[in-house]
Structure 1
Amino acid sequence: MSGYGVDVDALKATEKGINDTIRELREAGYHGHEHSGQAVIQWKLNVDESGHQAITDGLDEMLDRLRWWVRGLIAGTEEVVTTLTDTRTTYERVEQDVASKLKSLAHMTFSNPMGQQTPPAEAPR
């Protein structure tokens, strides 16, 4: 044995964790703009709140970059989840196919192919 294996439960837990994180990022955004990263715009400050125009301008620039980063993060993590789901599904399907083939092989190997019942062989005397 090579020791290689796939922990399907770990893949499911990873998918769930990533999906929960994406859902929270979406919920922080405005309805209809969940994928846009618009949630960070709500952190903008006007000059009265920041106390200086340079601070407001710097924060606006940083928030715009952060918005694009969040947008890319959401899109990228959705691809990761899709890949994880596909990998898990493929692994489960192959595992089921192998188990089915092994059962079929065992049946063909150890069953009577003619379907006749033969009495058990008597032990020699």
Structure 2
Amino acid sequence: MRRTVRLMATLLPLLALVVFASPASATSSCDGLATPSVPGARVTSLSAEERHDLVVPPGPFNPEPIPVAPFCQVFMTLTHPGANDTVTVAVWLPLTGWNGRFQGTGGGGYAAGFFGFTLAGR
């Protein structure tokens, strides 16, 4: 339970970056993303890069390749002082045509990993 609360406190600032950005304010660049302030944690790195022409290769959950619209790939790494941990959060933000909705993917505990096909959608 304590771990879940800590994870939610970690993700809320990044989710706020996604949720409160309106579709009208969507730009065609990843430049200018500010490092969020995360209560109880220290952000160690934040990177954002425009990605074009990405195709998620076939895998066990997607038998066909998935072409992905251009997006801003954001990675944030943080740590919780005294916990000796490292948490990496990945978000793909569309560069254009975003409808303002956010779909969270992923899991916790034993479901750790990077699952590109879940971020790509269909």
- Please indicate, yes or no, whether the TM-score normalized by the shorter chain is above 0.5: no
Structure number with the higher helix fraction is 1
Is the radius of gyration larger for structure 1 or structure 2? 1
Structure number with the higher strand fraction is 2
TM-score normalised by structure 2 residue count: 0.26
